[in-house]
Chains A and B, each alone.
Chain A
Amino acid sequence: MNITLLREMGLALLFVLLQAIVFNQINLFGIAVPMVFIYIIFRMPLSMPTAWLLTASFFLGLAVDIFSNTPGMNALACTILAFMRRFVLSLYLPHGSDYVAETPSIRGFGLWLYVRYSLTLTFIYCVLLLAIESLSLLDFPYMLMRIVGSTLLTFLFILCIDSLSQGREKRL
């Protein structure tokens, strides 16, 4: 079996556990929850066939759902997020130009492109997730506050994690 695939799966499992045990417990000012595990979807290779990308994202979301007692919620949001990833990227890349790097990261994309890429996707994810959650109790101003808070906190965490992994991959 492919060693890179194994490593990525191990990393995904680690992020699901971290999300369940650490990040789900963080609730800054009552409005911001970091959804750090979506970083796994961000860093899947761009050459990955869409069907595989969707499958992996669905099961990633489902795993987080199982841990946080929200069946279907994260799975739905992750599936839609994975589907929109390519469209978001084509928004920011000049038309017709090839992808700059195989795996989205600060190193491969450059800081400015990666910030736009990850901030947009994080925002989409938070809107999806909190809108789905609001189906059971709608409180619009509060929902907006939670979307903004969670997006910013998640984005900060993801930026930190990606810049940390950068140094390690250089040495490999």
Chain B
Amino acid sequence: MRNLIDFLIKHHAWIFFILYVVLSCILLFSSNPYQRSVFFGSSNRVVAKVYEVADGVSGYFGLRKANEELLMQNGELAMENMQLRRQLQRYSYAAATDSIAMSDAMLQQYDFVLARVINNSVSHLENYITLDKGSADGITPEMAVVDHRGIVGIVNVVNEHNSVAISVLNAKLHVSCKVKGTDCFGSLTWDGRSAAYAVLEEMPRHVDFVPGDTIVTSGFSAVFPDGIMVGTIHDYAKQKDDNFYAMQVKLSTDFTQLGVVRIIRNHTQDQQQLLEKEARQ
């Protein structure tokens, strides 16, 4: 017993060292990512508060550019609205003679909540985004996050007033995407290199495309609605097994300048996931 105590006192530096290394490794390789990010992540209340205060200062930078972009988009939407209204008018004559009415619920599959980005990074291999809305605003995990330029990420962890989303710039995230106008889809992921580019893998070789074509979400995953802007094809190459292409996609979202984002709620998401789960059994 005395020998043991002597041993412990003599080597206490090593024992402390090993203790802390083991503790860090438990955190690093912990198998429960949810608890990990609630206690040791930026959805922690204190951390979120600090980021909120910091954003109160830096949030004003870049507002002029954001404003211009919004005005531009507003103009485009107004044009589209005008066109749609004209079409609607034309069809409403036809509809008047036909009595099948479409329920509103069918059209209202999606709605959205606006949220501010209070923390964001592009320098790690696994980047996360902290948002200032939480379960009190109806946010739940697996909701889509987009901004006015394109996709941003997927909500991962939620507490009462904050949530953390996995950024598209995260090697762990895969999003199902397609070339606009076709139905062939691939999987979008990030190679950790540049915040402006992502990689679209597993694209079948028979798809016709040229660099510059638009990439949109496919709507197959129940998270992102169909047809949300992702980016444009910048370059492409054959993948190892020769049957697929891997494309380098220039992302339309500027991840270094995220301000206000929309969190999209899909009212039929639960039903779709339940159905898909049943089919797999």
Whether B41 lies near A136 (C-beta < 8 A) is no
CA distance A9 to B13 in the complex (A): 22
Whether B28 lies near A137 (C-beta < 8 A) is no
B24 within 8 A of A: yes
CB-defined contacts of A50 to chain B, threshold 8 Å: 13, 16-17
Option from A26, A62, A72, A133 in Cβ contact (under 8 Å) with B125: A133
Of the listed residues A20, A26, A55, the one surrounded by the most CB atoms of chain B closer than 10 A to its CB is: A20
Option from A21, A58, A69 in Cβ contact (under 8 Å) with B41: A69
- Of B42-50, B73-81, B98-106, the stretch lying at the interface with chain A is B42-50
Whether B124 lies near A70 (C-beta < 8 A) is yes
CB-defined contacts of B164 to chain A, threshold 8 Å: 69
CB-defined contacts of A73 to chain B, threshold 8 Å: 24, 28
What distance in Å separates the Cβ of B28 from its nearest Cβ neighbour in chain A? 3
Interface string of A49-69 (1 = CB under 8 A from B): 011001100100110011111
CA distance A67 to B128 in the complex (A): 11
B159 within 8 A of A: no
A142 within 8 A of B: yes
What distance in Å separates the Cβ of A109 from its nearest Cβ neighbour in chain B? 23
CB-defined contacts of A68 to chain B, threshold 8 Å: 42, 121, 124
Q: Would you call the interface of chain A mostly helix, strand, loop, or mixed?
A: helix
Q: A16: nearest residue on chain B (CB-CB)? A: B50
> How many A-B pairs with Cβ below 8 Å?
106
Whether A67 lies near B42 (C-beta < 8 A) is yes
A33 within 8 A of B: yes
Whether A66 lies near B47 (C-beta < 8 A) is yes
Whether A71 lies near B41 (C-beta < 8 A) is yes
Whether A27 lies near B24 (C-beta < 8 A) is no
Whether B122 lies near A51 (C-beta < 8 A) is no
B71 within 8 A of A: no
B268 within 8 A of A: no
Option from B13, B26, B195 in Cβ contact (under 8 Å) with A54: B13
CB-defined contacts of B128 to chain A, threshold 8 Å: 69
Whether A67 lies near B28 (C-beta < 8 A) is no
CB-defined contacts of A72 to chain B, threshold 8 Å: 24-30, 40
- Of B144-152, B186-194, B207-215, the stretch lying at the interface with chain A is B186-194
Option from A24, A67, A75, A136 in Cβ contact (under 8 Å) with B23: A75
What distance in Å separates the Cβ of A128 from its nearest Cβ neighbour in chain B? 11
CA distance A51 to B14 in the complex (A): 8
CA distance A61 to B27 in the complex (A): 12
CB-defined contacts of B195 to chain A, threshold 8 Å: 27, 30
What distance in Å separates the Cβ of A120 from its nearest Cβ neighbour in chain B? 19
B243 within 8 A of A: no
CA distance A66 to B47 in the complex (A): 8
Interface string of A5-46 (1 = CB under 8 A from B): 000000000000100110011110010010000000000000
- 22 A-B pairs (CB sep. < 8 Å): A21-B50, A26-B123, A27-B123, A51-B12, A58-B23, A61-B24, A62-B27, A62-B40, A65-B27, A65-B40, A66-B47, A68-B121, A68-B124, A71-B36, A71-B37, A72-B29, A72-B30, A73-B28, A75-B27, A79-B21, A136-B126, A137-B171
Given contacts A66-B40, A71-B27, A72-B24, could you give 10 more A-B pairs where the C-beta distance is less than 8 Å?
Answer: A21-B54, A30-B193, A54-B20, A62-B40, A65-B27, A132-B28, A133-B124, A137-B191, A137-B192, A142-B192
Interface of B toward A, CB cutoff 8 Å: 12-13, 16-17, 20-21, 23-30, 36-37, 40-42, 44, 47, 50-51, 54, 121-126, 128, 164, 171-172, 191-195
Interface of A toward B, CB cutoff 8 Å: 17, 20-21, 24-27, 30, 33, 50-51, 54-55, 58, 61-62, 65-73, 75-76, 79-80, 83, 132-134, 136-137, 139, 142
